[in-house]
Chain A
Amino acid sequence: MEYILKDKKSKKIIMCLILLDLMVIAAFLLPGITPKNIHFFMPRRITKILAVIIVSYSIGYSSLIFQTVTNNHILTPSVMGLDSLYLFIQTFIVFAAGSQTLSQMIGYRHFLICVGLMIFAACILFLLLFRGSSKNVYFLVLTGMIMGSLFNGMATFMQVLLDPNEFAVLQGRMFASFNNINSNLVGISILIIIAVCIISVRDLPYLDVLLLGPENAISLGVDYKKLVFKTLIICAVLVSVSTALVGPITFLGILIVNLARHMLGTYSHRSISLGIMFLGILFLTGGLLVTERIFKFETTMSVIINFIGGIYFLYLMLKERKQ
């Protein structure tokens, strides 16, 4: 820990977060476990917690670096419609290959093809959006949201075309959610996340420099174009991972990134990215506890996150306007 964080305050806060995380995870894993049912419950619960950790890292980190690259605090990949893009690509592949292949397609291979296409599509999307000197953030957000609804619409459209009779079944099988985690992919996701961690850890100081603005970063010796390009590819991969595992969670990224930034009061990507991850775990496990134990599955995670995140997003927008 000493090497990772030099800042005392953020170290303390992150320690607190880790402690809280452990408590929530214990509260999720342990209740009702007896020697008899441990073989049944434990693996399922642990899969969920693993998914939560993966998703927190991928959503949190991708949102953070995306905000740094685009230099604002409102945009995140999911606000820009990237997770809808993933759903669209996923459906498109099944559509192109025919619904008979669906069962074979849900495994690794399908996932990897999706990730590949996603990187490609994300590059095009960004080139389109950031071409020219467009600095109007609200324009980007609005375009992103409309694109999200377009991709969603097209995905649903293709599903209806695939099989009008069993449309609902198809949708349930293809799209993950927190109640329906795609556990086949947990293993490969962990590998991908570790790879991304190793690749991106050296970039963190450069991203700090990028906060000074592109011109300053370039004059300080940062290879700006390469860094932005790399960051966007990482974003595309991470969004694919989290969407494939648990489906789209639009407002989580914006919520945890801004909260972490606020709590830690620092600009260092190193501490913020840690803070985000543990905050994400806290939120998602807490959300799981609330939906599964308190509401007994009577509501879904996305409803709760949309509610809190939506209010927070409104607050952010109105606050930023006042300044």
Chain B
Amino acid sequence: MIIKISKLLHRKLFWLIILMAASVFSLTLGVKDFSILGLFTQNSEDVKLAIISRFPRLISILVTGASLSISGLIMQTVTDNKFVSPSTAGTMEWSRFGVMIAILFFGGEAKLFKMLIAFICSLFGTLIFMQILQTMKFKNAMIVPLVGMMLGNVISAITSFFAYRFDIIQNMSSWLQGNFSLVIKGRYELLYLGIPFLIIAYIYANKLTIAGMGESFSKSLGVNYKAVVLLGMVIVAVITSTVVVTVGSISFVGIIIPNIVSMIMGDNLRNSLPVTALFGALFLLICDMIGRVIIFPYEISISLIVSVVGSIMFLVLLFRRKKNWSTS
């Protein structure tokens, strides 16, 4: 037992070190010459560059990766379905819808305000999705994400309809494509808002797991099912809307990372939450680096890299899970 735990810790530590190494490497990437040593020798150019651009970018990538994969994990736990995530349940699309509403009716208000409306819309949309899930009696594991994706499709059709109609499609497209190249000091701090909710998720991890086992089961264990599910969805909606408003939508992260972690270390939510956060951050960081290196000095937007890498990984997951089902 002790050996096992130490092995696990060893692994976590190992990945943490890799993440740190990758972060340092990511700091050195960029068009402008920059050396890490300059930070210690107080080279004013280097310090300025780091504070204004490199650090904000790194931090926002790490926070986005961690929080997106955790919100995927929460949704998968609560719905007890491995293929649900903010991008396959329509949460992202609802969030973009909210941004559209905010731009349309309230002009270029503060980001916090945009986020608030995006949050309300994505919470509403996610709750609708949960409601539809409950009315479906026999749940095929595959039909759940399909319903969510279709719902998302319909919502994004409405969003782009209004965006075309009122000529804000250019303005909107920055929320359609996730991109870290515009992240500089003063434009990403909203992401921090998600962090307290990640901590809440960790505290309530066990209750969320119980809620995933169904309403009657949680009642018999003395867990207020509705309240816990609502809490989970609020966390997911807050995280998704902060990410959509600051960097744009990035699909697949919420689905792949939790699945990989659950294959490695099982489904204990409290155990897997930190690892999921770590892997999510590492995954996005690597994707971002690929996007920055491949056509240097240009940049490929991260949502494109993630959609290519992510859909391949998702397909692999699908085929693997299917094999497991047919044998069981």
* A141-B142, A160-B295 known; A318-B136 Cβ under 8 A: yes
* A145-B149, A299-B161, A317-B143 known; A153-B304 Cβ under 8 A: yes
* A150-B311, A299-B165 known; A306-B157 Cβ under 8 A: yes
Q: Of A56-64, A196-204, A308-316, which binds chain B?
A: A308-316
In Å, the complex CA distance between A322 and B158 comes to 28
In Å, the complex CA distance between A139 and B83 comes to 11
Interface residue total, chain A, C-beta cutoff 8 A: 36
CB atoms of B311 and A146 under 8 A apart: yes
CB atoms of B304 and A139 under 8 A apart: no
- Select one of A134, A136, A142, A160 contacting B300, CB under 8 A: A160
A152: chain B residues within 8 A (beta carbon):
307
B132: chain A residues within 8 A (beta carbon):
318
* A299-B165, A307-B157 known; A143-B307 Cβ under 8 A: no
CB atoms of A164 and B322 under 8 A apart: no
Q: Counting chain A CB atoms within 10 Å of each CB, which of B140, B153, B305 scores highest?
A: B153
B146 adjacent to chain A (CB < 8 Å): yes
CB atoms of A300 and B157 under 8 A apart: no
B308 adjacent to chain A (CB < 8 Å): yes
Q: Which residue of A lies closest to B322 (CB)?
A: A139
In Å, the complex CA distance between A78 and B314 comes to 19
* A138-B140, A139-B318, A157-B300 known; A149-B307 Cβ under 8 A: yes
B22 adjacent to chain A (CB < 8 Å): no
B17 adjacent to chain A (CB < 8 Å): no
A36 adjacent to chain B (CB < 8 Å): no
CB atoms of B318 and A142 under 8 A apart: yes
In Å, the complex CA distance between A310 and B161 comes to 14
In Å, the complex CA distance between A134 and B145 comes to 19
In Å, the complex CA distance between A311 and B145 comes to 15
B160 adjacent to chain A (CB < 8 Å): yes
B304: chain A residues within 8 A (beta carbon):
153, 156-157, 160
A154 adjacent to chain B (CB < 8 Å): yes
CB atoms of A142 and B160 under 8 A apart: no
Measured CB to CB, the closest approach of chain B to A219, in angstroms, equals 28
Measured CB to CB, the closest approach of chain B to A187, in angstroms, equals 32
CB atoms of A299 and B164 under 8 A apart: yes
Interface residue total, chain B, C-beta cutoff 8 A: 39
B113 adjacent to chain A (CB < 8 Å): no
CB-CB contacts below 8 Å: A98-141 with B: 134, 136, 138-139, 141
Q: Counting chain A CB atoms within 10 Å of each CB, which of B151, B154, B300, B312 scores highest?
A: B154
- Select one of A150, A314, A318 contacting B308, CB under 8 A: A150
Measured CB to CB, the closest approach of chain B to A39, in angstroms, equals 31
CB atoms of B165 and A298 under 8 A apart: yes
CB atoms of B150 and A317 under 8 A apart: yes
CB atoms of B143 and A138 under 8 A apart: yes
B165: chain A residues within 8 A (beta carbon):
295, 298-299
A33 adjacent to chain B (CB < 8 Å): no
Measured CB to CB, the closest approach of chain B to A95, in angstroms, equals 13
B314: chain A residues within 8 A (beta carbon):
146
A161 adjacent to chain B (CB < 8 Å): yes
B147 adjacent to chain A (CB < 8 Å): yes
CB atoms of B311 and A303 under 8 A apart: no
Q: Which residue of A lies closest to B297 (CB)?
A: A164
B315 adjacent to chain A (CB < 8 Å): yes
B298 adjacent to chain A (CB < 8 Å): yes
A318: chain B residues within 8 A (beta carbon):
132, 136, 147
A321 adjacent to chain B (CB < 8 Å): yes
CB atoms of A300 and B164 under 8 A apart: yes
- Select one of B137, B143, B157, B311 contacting A147, CB under 8 A: B311
CB atoms of B146 and A317 under 8 A apart: yes
- Select one of B143, B154, B300 contacting A311, CB under 8 A: B154
Q: Which residue of A lies closest to B312 (CB)?
A: A150
B138 adjacent to chain A (CB < 8 Å): yes
CB-CB contacts below 8 Å: B70-86 with A: 83
CB-CB contacts below 8 Å: B115-137 with A: 132, 136-137
Q: Counting chain A CB atoms within 10 Å of each CB, which of B137, B142, B151, B312 scores highest?
A: B142
A161: chain B residues within 8 A (beta carbon):
294-295
CB atoms of A142 and B83 under 8 A apart: yes
Q: Which residue of B lies closest to A74 (CB)?
A: B146
CB atoms of A313 and B150 under 8 A apart: yes
B151: chain A residues within 8 A (beta carbon):
310, 314
- Select one of A147, A300, A321, A322 contacting B140, CB under 8 A: A321
> 27 A-B contacts, Cβ less than 8 Å apart?
A136-B322, A145-B146, A146-B311, A146-B315, A149-B251, A149-B307, A150-B311, A153-B304, A154-B308, A160-B298, A160-B300, A161-B295, A164-B295, A164-B298, A298-B164, A300-B160, A303-B157, A303-B161, A310-B154, A314-B147, A314-B151, A314-B154, A317-B143, A317-B147, A321-B136, A321-B137, A321-B138
14 other A-B residue contacts (CB within 8 Å) besides A147-B311, A157-B304: A136-B142, A138-B140, A146-B315, A146-B318, A147-B315, A152-B307, A160-B300, A164-B295, A298-B164, A303-B164, A306-B153, A306-B156, A311-B154, A317-B150
In order of increasing CB-CB distance, the 4 nearest A-B pairs are A138-B142, A150-B311, A307-B157, A153-B307
